[in-house]
């Protein structure tokens, strides 16, 4: 089956002034998965197809996935290892071609079997990373995830001669993104991209997740592009933006407005690809029609926007991300080893992440101006460390931060109005 080089496809779309839009779509049935890919391909937009894998496959429980297929149970994604290769080849036949690349998204910290199957099928575009698919999603030790992802890079590199250039997208800019200040997200994305490059990948995308403050997001995306240019010389790379990943609006109008903002943000700040969400996100897995509607809505909004070449306000995101990246790189010439040492020393520390390898000293909050800020930087090597000796963020304040986007776009009152009063009084 012919397939385009992913990086070239994205570059051609950028040259033509088009934002590439992509759903998060995955179904257990090969027939339904094919229908979804075909609908994405026909959509009135420049699209990439997505095969999102199911939870059993992400966890390596392939026997459980096979039993679910046999019993007819509905899965929350496509079990690419449990399905025999012939089934998936037939599903892709006539869909994937030079005009329509397909990416496989999974969520596994140890995905060797997934990558082996992908390469058997000529599917050499995927995403994740040794940090970003380990800490938020599993209890797998970071050292084990690092070794697994190194082997996955080797699998992709070995498949290079039999098909288009392999591509990996780091998920590092999206880790618990709704409460992770952007400097750390940008640094993690760049470091994972460098890990991929050091392990042989020549086509990479760097991710970032939309937050609430458009100005902060524009600054973060520009910082990510600057650092990509600095630390990934000679590599084919681009930036991908994820529509907001926290509690999504319940109303159609609210969801549409939030997605429209993501599409406009992507264009203004120079991102090349957008991962969309739908109006159904708050309640259930979206239908094929809902995915296509979201894709086309985002494409229309993007078409009405233009990249802003002006300099965004500098509040220190670039300096913070650069300081973290450089401090981590100083720990070890092997970037995988540097990542492990960074988490042991607290140079990388994800707020509110409960993984055993995460120090858990750094904390953050969403300010009244909608900017994510550090409450305590722990041992992060940032230019302006912060220590807060006040009372830890309470449940009411945490819920207020997590639900602010939903309430704002749905025009809902706060569930606990006294929470913000207490929080602002302390500040």
pLDDT, tens digit, 9 for 90 and up, residues 152-167: 999 999 998 777 899 9
Quote the pLDDT of residue 423: 34
Integer Cα distance of 54 and 33 in angstroms: 12
Is the CB of residue 54 less than 8 Å from the CB of residue 113? no
Question: What residues make up the domain containing 412?
Answer: 395-426
Question: Is 113 found in the same domain as 245?
Answer: yes
Tell me, yes or no, whether 375 lies in a domain: no
Quote the pLDDT of residue 414: 56
Quote the pLDDT of residue 411: 87
- Low-confidence residues in the chain, pLDDT < 50: 1-2, 416-427
This prediction has a pTM of 0.93
Is the CB of residue 122 less than 8 Å from the CB of residue 1? yes
Integer Cα distance of 27 and 39 in angstroms: 14
Tell me, yes or no, whether 67 lies in a domain: yes
Quote the pLDDT of residue 137: 80
Quote the pLDDT of residue 427: 35
* CATH number of domain containing 26: 3.20.20.240
Contacts of 223 (CB under 8 A, 6+ apart): 182, 183, 186, 317, 318, 321
Tell me, yes or no, whether 377 lies in a domain: no
Contacts of 149 (CB under 8 A, 6+ apart): 111, 128, 129, 130, 133, 195, 199, 336
Tell me, yes or no, whether 361 lies in a domain: no
Quote the pLDDT of residue 389: 62
Tell me, yes or no, whether 80 lies in a domain: yes
Quote the pLDDT of residue 421: 37
- DSSP assignment of 73-116: PPPSS--TTTS-HHHHHHHHTTTSBTTB-EEEE---SS-HHHHH
Overall number of domains in the chain:
2
Contacts of 333 (CB under 8 A, 6+ apart): none
Locate 58 and state its tokens.
């992400």
Quote the pLDDT of residue 233: 95
Question: Is 282 found in the same domain as 148?
Answer: yes
């Amino acid at each position: 089956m012919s397939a385009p080089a992913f990086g070239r496809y994205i570059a051609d779309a950028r040259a033509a002034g088009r934002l590439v839009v992509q759903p998060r779509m995955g179904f257990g049935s090969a027939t339904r998965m094919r229908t979804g890919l075909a609908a994405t391909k026909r959509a009135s937009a420049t699209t990439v197809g997505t095969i999102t894998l199911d939870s059993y496959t992400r966890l390596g429980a392939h026997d459980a996935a096979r039993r679910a297929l046999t019993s007819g149970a509905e899965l929350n994604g496509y079990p690419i290892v449990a399905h025999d290769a012939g089934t998936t080849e037939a599903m892709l036949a006539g869909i994937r071609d030079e005009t329509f690349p397909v990416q496989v998204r999974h969520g596994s910290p140890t995905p060797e079997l997934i990558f082996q199957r992908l390469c058997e099928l000529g599917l050499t575009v995927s995403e994740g990373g040794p940090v970003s698919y380990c800490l938020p999603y599993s209890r797998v030790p970071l050292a084990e995830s690092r070794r697994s992802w190194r082997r996955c890079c080797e699998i992709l590199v070995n498949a290079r001669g039999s098909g288009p250039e392999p591509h990996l997208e780091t998920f590092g800019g999206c880790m618990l993104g709704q409460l992770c200040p952007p400097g750390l997200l940008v640094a993690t994305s760049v470091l994972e991209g460098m890990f991929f490059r050091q392990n042989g990948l020549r086509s990479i995308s760097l991710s970032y997740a939309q937050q609430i403050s458009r100005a902060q997001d524009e600054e973060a995306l520009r910082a990510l592009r600057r650092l990509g240019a600095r630390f990934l010389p000679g590599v084919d790379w681009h930036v991908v933006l994820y529509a907001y990943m926290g509690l999504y609006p319940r109303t159609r109008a609210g969801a549409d407005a939030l997605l429209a903002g993501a599409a406009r943000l992507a264009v203004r700040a120079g991102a090349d690809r957008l991962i969309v969400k739908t109006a159904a996100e708050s309640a259930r897995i979206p239908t094929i029609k809902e995915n296509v509607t979201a894709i086309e809505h985002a494409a229309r909004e993007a078409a009405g926007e233009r990249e802003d070449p002006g300099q965004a306000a500098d509040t220190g995101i670039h300096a913070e991300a650069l300081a973290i990246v450089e401090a981590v790189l100083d720990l070890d010439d092997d970037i995988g080893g540097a990542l492990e040492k960074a988490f042991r020393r607290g140079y990388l520390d994800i707020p509110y992440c409960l993984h055993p390898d995460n120090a858990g000293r750094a904390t953050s909050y969403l300010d009244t101006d909608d900017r994510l800020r550090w409450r305590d930087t722990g041992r992060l090597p940032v230019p302006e460390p912060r220590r807060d000796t006040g009372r830890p963020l309470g449940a009411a304040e945490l819920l207020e931060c997590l639900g602010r986007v939903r309430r704002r776009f749905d025009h809902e009152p706060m569930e606990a109005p006294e929470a913000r009063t207490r929080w602002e009084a302390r500040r």
